[in-house]
Structure formats: C-alpha cells, structure tokens
Amino acid sequence: MAESNVLYEQRGAVALVTLNRPDALNSLTRTMHEELRALLDRVNGDKSVRALVITGAGRGFCAGANLAAFDMTPGPDQVQRADPGPIIEKLFNPTVRKLMDLRVPTIAAVNGVAAGAGASLAMTCDLAIAAPSATFIQAFSRIGLIPDAGGSWFLVKKLGLARAMGCAMLGDKLSARDAKEWGMIWNVAPEGADVVAEAMKLAERLATMPTAALAATRKLLRAAATSDLDHQLDLERDTQSALGRTHDYIEGVTAFLQKRPAQFKGE
C-alpha cells in the first residue's frame, strides 16, 4: 500500500505532521490538502493533543503549489483551465483558515526550502524554527502571480512593507538567519541540531501550558493590528472573563498562591 502524502504521529501531547512528497519537495497536491485538513480536524477533536508541529520529509519543507496540476495545454479554453483562482479557493484558503484557527499552538519545523505557499504555510503557524540551511522564497513573481495562501498578509505583518515588497517582487532567497532577523520566523536551530527535535522541545513546553489561553493570546495579538486601543481593551476584558471560567485559570492562580508548579489540563 502506498505511503500517505501526509504523515501523522503523536508523541505524548504533541502531534507531528509531516508533508511526505520528498521527491517533489513536498509541493502541495489536492490530496495533500485534503489529508492535511483531515489531520487538523483530528487534532481539534483529540483533547490529548496540546500542540502541533508541521515539517517536511526529505530535503525540503514545502515548495508550494504543485504546478503540474495547472492545465496549460494549448487550446481555446486554456485561460479558463489554467486559472489558479479555483484551486486557491478550494484548496489553499481552507487549509490556511483551518490551521490559523486550530485549537492548539502550532510550530513549523522548516527543514529545507519553503517556497511560495510553502513559505506561507510556515508563516501561518504560530511559531517557526528553521534549520540553518533552510531558505524562504517568494517565487510568485517568477511565474506572473502574486503571493497567496495568506502570503501577502503575512509578509507585511511580519516583515513590514519595505521588506515585504522586496521579497515579493524580487523573489530572492531569504536565508534562515535573515528570516529570523527580519521577523519572519521565531528562531534558527543550532548548527548540527535536528530542527524537528528542536521544534518538538518547544512544542512539548507549550503542551504543558494552558492551551485555551495560548489560542486566545494568538487571536488577540492578530486582532491588535486592526483594533484601536478601546476595542482591544474590550476584547481583553471579554477574553479574560471567558478564560476565568476555565480549569487552567483556577489551577494557575491556586498553584501560584500555594507556591507549587501548576498542572494544566488544557481545559
């Protein structure tokens, strides 16, 4: 039986998802999108999972869209057949939205090249750790397109307009070190270290923390970019009130007062 295009493994409270088309640098097919979203649903439905790591098999993280899926055969209806819009609407956008709203914190372990929508996938995760040799490429201008899968949004939010323009228009490779310095990713793994192992360490740490509070923090920080202070203060009040009814809030404050480590359940 053929191996799945997306692998799933649970290590304790951490789910490890591996894109598994190494010969194609894990470029995303329709099947991969469907399998990935099914696994994200699995994580959302399994309370024993408290964090998620996404990586790629082989020497690449993800080369973006599988361009072979676009029908470029000459003919009178070539423009309609080659239109990338329907593929983005049916495959990429649902994947980005589901990953953005996942119940648990997410980490990208970028083991190699992350190109096009692959770079967007890494930026969709809450945190990203890259191997020192990893690179990030906005390859869209080379084929007459624009950053998608959230790329045009993530680039500006993370890098600022000037650097986002340079990355998107020029399509030059960005090293892991520069990606960290510019704010695209959280960290670069030490030389000689296994980037997945480094991501798992971080995920295991997050998995012991109050999961609902982490997801709420993510939501509030994203909202801050478009909220004025008054609106953000209201959001903070309402979110704190909701979290105040969770087990982890009661446990966290009780443990603090009793001067002992908190035992969070993610509830």
Distance CA 252, CA 211 (A): 12
More confident residue, 109 or 266: 109
Q: pLDDT of 21-77, one tens digit each?
A: 999 999 999 999 999 999 999 999 999 999 999 999 999 999 988 777 776 677 787
Any domain includes 266: no
Same domain, 35 and 76: yes
Query: Which of 168, 190, 208 is the C-terminal boundary of a domain?
Result: 208
Query: Which of 187, 208, 229 is the C-terminal boundary of a domain?
Result: 208
Same domain, 187 and 164: yes
pTM score:
0.92
Q: What is the pLDDT of residue 71?
A: 67
Mean pLDDT of 97-106: 96
CATH assignment of the domain containing 223: 1.10.12
Domain count along the chain: 2
Structure confidence at residue 2 as a pLDDT band (50, 70, 90): low
Any domain includes 182: yes
3-state DSSP of the chain: CCCCCEEEEEECCEEEEEECCHHHCCCECHHHHHHHHHHHHHHHHCCCCCEEEEEECCCEEECCECHHHCCCCCCCCHHHHHCCHHHHHHHHHHHHHHHHCCCCCEEEEECCEEECHHHHHHHHCCEEEECCCCEEECCHHHHCCCCCCCHHHHHHHHHCHHHHHHHHHHCCEEEHHHHHHHCCCCEECCCCCCHHHHHHHHHHHHHCCCHHHHHHHHHHHHHCCCCCHHHHHHHHHHHHHHHCCCHHHHHHHHHHHCCCCCCCCCC
> Is the confidence at residue 237, as pLDDT, over 80?
yes
Same domain, 253 and 189: no
Structure confidence at residue 3 as a pLDDT band (50, 70, 90): confident
Structure confidence at residue 155 as a pLDDT band (50, 70, 90): very high
Same domain, 195 and 222: no
CATH assignment of the domain containing 26: 3.90.226.10
Same domain, 139 and 250: no
The one-letter amino acid code at 74 reads P
Q: What is the pLDDT of residue 75?
A: 79
Same domain, 22 and 149: yes
Same domain, 216 and 129: no
Q: What is the pLDDT of residue 121?
A: 97
Distance CA 206, CA 255 (A): 18
Any domain includes 265: no
Any domain includes 42: yes
Q: Which of 1-15, 57-71, 126-140 has the highest mean pLDDT?
A: 126-140
> Is the confidence at residue 147, as pLDDT, over 80?
yes
Same domain, 203 and 249: no
Any domain includes 112: yes
Q: What is the pLDDT of residue 113?
A: 97
Q: What is the pLDDT of residue 78?
A: 76
Q: pLDDT of 176-226, one tens digit each?
A: 999 999 999 999 999 999 999 999 999 999 999 999 999 999 999 999 988
Same domain, 139 and 249: no
Q: What is the pLDDT of residue 72?
A: 67
Same domain, 133 and 242: no
Q: What is the pLDDT of residue 74?
A: 79
Any domain includes 189: yes
Any domain includes 86: yes
Same domain, 70 and 202: yes
Query: Which of 190, 208, 226 is the C-terminal boundary of a domain?
Result: 208
Give the range of the structural domain holding residue 215, as residue numbers without chain letter: 211-258
Same domain, 244 and 196: no
Any domain includes 197: yes
Q: Which long-range contacts (CB under 8 A, 24 or more apart) does 223-226 make?
A: 225/157
